[in-house]
Amino acid sequence: MDAVARLMQRSIDLHIHPSPSLFPRRIDAVEAARQAADAGMRAIVIKSHHHSTAPELLPLKVHSLSQIPVQVFGGVVLNSYVGGLNPYIVDMTLRMGGKIVWFPTISSENHIKHHQAQPHMKFPSQVGRELPDIVVKVLDDRGELLPEARQILDLIADADAILSSGHVSVPEALALLRGAKEAGVRRMLINHPDFVIDASEADVQEFVRLGAYIEHSMCMYHPESTFHLWNFDRLKRWIELVGPERTLLGSDLGQKNNPLPVEGLRYTIAKLLDIGIKEQEIEFMIRKNAETLLGLEEAAERRLPARKGA
C-alpha cells in the first residue's frame, strides 16, 4: 500500500456536496459513501445549500447505507431556503442526528456581493428558475449578533454539534465565534477562508485563537476542477500559518463537472507529500482534527477493552 492509499484509511471528509440539490451534482449520498468506503475512509458529511441533509439520511441508514462501512452525517445550512436563522430547522436537524450547522452561505450578504463582483470565481448557478436573493444577516445594525443567532448557538452548544460560519464576512464570523464561546460551543469551523470570505492571515490566526479549526477546499487545488485553481505553495503557506493541528482538508466536491470527492482528496495528499508535508501532519488534516470535531475520538475512548476477569 502506497503512502496515499495508507493515509486515505480512516480519513474523514466534512464537506461533500451530493444530490439532491438545486445545483447540478455528480453523485448522491449513497454513491459518495460507497466511494469513501472503497477508499477505506471512516466518515463523510454531506452538505446542501438548500435543505437539511439529516432527515434524508435516516431511511438511507436503514436501507442503502446499512451495508456500506462508512459513517455518514448531515447538517443544515441557514440559507433563505430553510428560513434563514430558523431555530426550528436547527432543532430538527440536531435532534435527527445532524452534526453541523452552517450559517448562511449563498444567502449571506458577503456571498451575494462577492459573487456579483467576482463571477470568475465560478460559483454554480441553480438548476431552473432563479428566485430573488434574500439576504440572511447574522448581525443587527449595531454589529451585535441577532437574538435568533444567539438562540441557534445555544442549540448547537446543547447538542455539542459543530458551528461553521458558512460564507459570512470576517466581522460576522468573528462575532459568531465569540458568541459561540460565550454559549459554550466546543466545536467551531471556518470553511475556505480565502474563498468568498477573503480572510487575511491575521484574520485566520484570530479565528484559531478563538478556538476554530480552518478547513481548506480541495476543489480549489485540483487541475480538473471548474473552480479557481490555486497552487499548493499557497495551501502550504496556510497550513504553516496555524499548523496542521488546526487545519482540515475537505474536498468540497460533488459538483457535476468536477472531480469526485475521493479523487480530490487523493490528489491533494499526493501533492502535499511531494512538497514536503509529513505523513503525520497530513493525518491530522484529513482524520484526527475531523474526529475531534465530530466527537468520534471521544466515542472511541469510551469503548475501552474489557479487563480480564471483569
Q: Give the three-class secondary structure for 19.
A: strand
Bond preceding residue 20 cis, omega within 30 of 0 = yes
High-pLDDT (> 90) share of the chain, %: 86
Angle between helix 29-38 and helix 261-274 axes, rounded to 10 deg: 40
DSSP line for 191-220: E-TTTTS---HHHHHHHHHTT-EEEEEGGG
* Local structure of 240: helix, strand or coil: helix
Residue 99 to residue 76: CA distance in whole angstroms: 9
What pLDDT, in 10s, does the model give residues 126-158?
666 666 678 999 999 999 999 999 999 999 999
Domain 3-302 is in which class? alpha beta
Q: Which amino acid is residue 43, in one-letter code? A: A
The residue type at 15: H
- In angstroms, the CA 71 to CA 258 distance is 23
The larger pLDDT score, comparing residue 229 to residue 91, is at 91
Neighbours of 268 (CB within 10 A): 24
C-alpha cell at 94: 440536531
Secondary structure class of 155 (helix, strand, coil): helix
Q: What amino acid is encoded at 246 in this protein?
A: R
For the chain, how many helices (H) and strands (E)?
13, 9
Domain boundaries, the chain: 3-302
Q: Which of 14-18, 19-23, 69-73, 166-170 has the weakest average pLDDT?
A: 19-23
DSSP 255: B
Share of the chain above pLDDT 70, in %: 91
Band of residue 307 on the pLDDT scale cut at 50, 70, 90: very low
C-alpha cell at 3: 503512502
Residue type, 25: R
pLDDT at 309 over 80: no
For the record, the C-alpha cell of 161 comes out as: 454539534
CB of 197 within 8 A of CB of 187?
A: no
At residue 117 the predicted structure's pLDDT band, cuts being 50, 70 and 90, is confident
pLDDT (mean) for 156-172: 98
In angstroms, the CA 190 to CA 154 distance is: 19
Contact 126, 151 (CB under 8 A): no
H-state helical runs in 136-209: 147-159, 170-183, 201-209
Which pTM value belongs to this model?
A: 0.93
